[in-house]
Structure formats: C-alpha cells, structure tokens
Amino acid sequence: MISKWFYTGDDSGTGIYRIEIEENKISSIPQDDFVKGIRIPFRLESNPDLREKKTYITPLFFYANIKYAGESKLLGIAEACPVFEPTRNAFFDIPLSIDKVEFIEGMRQGKEIKFVLDVDGMFSVGGPGYSQTSLFSTSVFTKHLSLVFSLPKSVWEENILPNLGIDALNSITIRIPPGLRKPLGSVLRELTDAVKAIEKATSESDFETVVGKARIAVESLLNQFSLTLPQRPDGKTDTGFKAKAEAMRDQLLTPVLGKTHAEHVTSVMISLWSPFSGATHPGPLKFDRAYARFSIHQAAALLSIVSEALAATG
C-alpha cells in the first residue's frame, strides 16, 4: 500500500486528502477494442480535522501521468477522473501503446517495475456557513503530488501483460548455480549484450548482430570445458563445433541427464549452429526481431541446462 497527502503547502502544511493505492490491485484496462493500458484504482481519505473546523474541501477531479522511474520518457496520460465524493472508489486509466510496453520491458529486464505517478487534483473549498454539498464555494484550487511505487513482477506479468495482447513479452528466468556464475561469466556477458542489443534494434542488421551474439554465447559455452576431442583423419585434433558439442554430450551431459536427454540437448545445439552462424558469415539468411528473440531464448535455455547439469556433478 502506498499513500500520500495533498497538503495546503507544496509538500507540507495541513493535509487535505490522502490518496491510497494498493499495488496488487493494479490491472489492465478492461478489454476494449480501442484503448489498452494500466488501470490504477485509488482511494481518497479526507482529513477529519478540517471537517471539525467547518472547512469543507471537495475534490472535483484528478489528472495523472505516469513515468518509468529514472527515465524522462512519458508513458501515458490518464483521462480526467471526476470524483465528487471523498469516499468514492476511483481509478486512473493509463493508455499504453505497444512501443511503450516494449520500452518498459527493455528497461525492466524481467524484474519488478518502479513508476512515478504524478497527480494533479482540483478542489473546491468552503468555510463557515457552507456545507460539503453546497452549490457554491469560496474558492477553487489545484494541488500536485508524486507517488513512487514498485509494481510487482507477478502483477505486471499476470494481471497486465496478457490483456495488452503481447503475451510474448513475458520474461523467462533461467537459473545459473552460484558456483558457476564466475566460470560462465563470458557466456553470461554475451547474453547480456544480446539482450541490450535487441532493446535498441530497429533494422535487419541490428537483429543480425543479436543473433551473432547468441551464437558467440553458445560457442563460448563449449569453450569453458576441458574436453577430450576426437582426432581427424589427418591426425589433428578436431576442434569443430560439432566435435565439441558431441564431446560435451558424452563427457559431461550423459552421466547427469542420461543418454536420451543428453542427445536431445546436443542435437538442438548443433542444429542451431548453422543458422546462428549465418549472422557471422553473411549469406542469404534474413533476420528479424522474432528470430533474434528466439536466438536469445535458445542460447539462454542451453546455458541453463548445461550449468545445472554441471552443478549436479559437484
């Protein structure tokens, strides 16, 4: 629960009304063919001391906009929300376009979201001899406040994203055992670079760069281990990708995953190598955002299962 007062001064003085928001009740705007975005319910609580002094302050309406904390990019502006009763439940509807959601996803990187909600309220005030339901007031004034709040990862991914029609933006978390984070640091760095690259990618060459980074991550994964590699017909050691993948299968994965699962993981790795390599060796292959995202997910999945298999060996 987050709450903050509108004060008679800027951020001090006498409290007028307190606005309260429960983060877990934030959801998407109910299904609408024209507007998609976030619905933020809020509750108002008046200051009882003012009522005792026969000072009647009535909220007329509120206007809000929301920003990603730490960023200057405006994410959306709520429609004016008329409120005529202090105890009435109300809400802000924050429209979000696809590009703004993708901006949030890029900044969020699978974590919770921190927002700044700026709210401007208009109030009417009456003194002795007036009542809260009077048609006239002595004055009308506006007040501003900013609320900083974190939207839980589960609320964003379960209550909001699906109804925005972009379920594919849900994040997937992979687990890297603590003892392997340093040995696999170079692989993690390549994947991190790939994620950063796709956040800013706009052209085919940008997406090609992302796929190339995913390829390097997979190759780097194999290069972390001391594998006994087979000999080629000319007597030299076979250092090709397929030879390394099969050596990892037999020497590291099979003892932990079993023959069938180890073969499946290795076959996926080998089958991805050729199209991923196309990003490093230009040819007829074309690259787009969907395939670039796919390449990151596949490289991350391979890293996850290999690292967990290694952790199981002690």
Place of tokens 């800013």: 200
Interstrand relation of 81-82 and 56-68 (parallel, antiparallel or unpaired)? antiparallel
pLDDT in tens, 84-98: 554 555 888 888 877
Residue percentage of the chain with pLDDT more than 70: 81
Q: How many domains does the chain have?
A: 2
Last-in-domain residue among 102, 131, 164: 164
Same domain as 212, residue 134: no
Residues 226 and 250 occupy one common structural domain? yes
Q: What confidence score (pLDDT) does residue 306 get?
A: 87
Residues 124 and 199 in one domain: no
Among the three residues 141, 164, 187, which one is the final residue of a domain in this structure? 164
Least confident range of 174-178, 205-209, 214-218, 239-243: 174-178
104 with 216, same domain: the answer is no
Q: What is the pLDDT of residue 69?
A: 76
Q: How confident is the model at residue 169 (pLDDT cuts 50, 70, 90)?
A: very low
CB 268 within 8 A of CB 294: no
Summarised one tens digit per residue, pLDDT across range 218-246 is: 988 888 888 899 998 888 999 998 999 99
Cα of first residue to Cα of last residue in the chain, in angstroms, is 44
State which residues form the domain around 204.
172-312
Is 60 exceeded by the pLDDT of residue 135? no
Q: 300 and 176 in one domain?
A: yes
Taking the complete model, does pTM exceed 0.75, yes or no? no
- For residue 263, is pLDDT > 90? yes
Q: Are residues 135 and 180 located together in one domain of the fold?
A: no
Q: Do both 21 and 99 map to the same domain? A: yes
Among the ranges given (47-51, 120-124, 165-169, 203-207), the one the predictor scored with the smallest mean pLDDT = 165-169
| Same domain, residue pair 146 and 17 | yes
Q: Which residues, 6 or more positions from 94, have their beta carbon under 8 angstroms from its beta carbon?
A: 37, 38, 39, 40, 64, 65, 66, 75, 76, 77, 78
Q: Closest by alpha carbon to 309, among 246, 262, 247?
A: 262
Alpha-carbon span 108 to 110, nearest angstrom: 6
For residue 253, the model assigns a pLDDT of 92
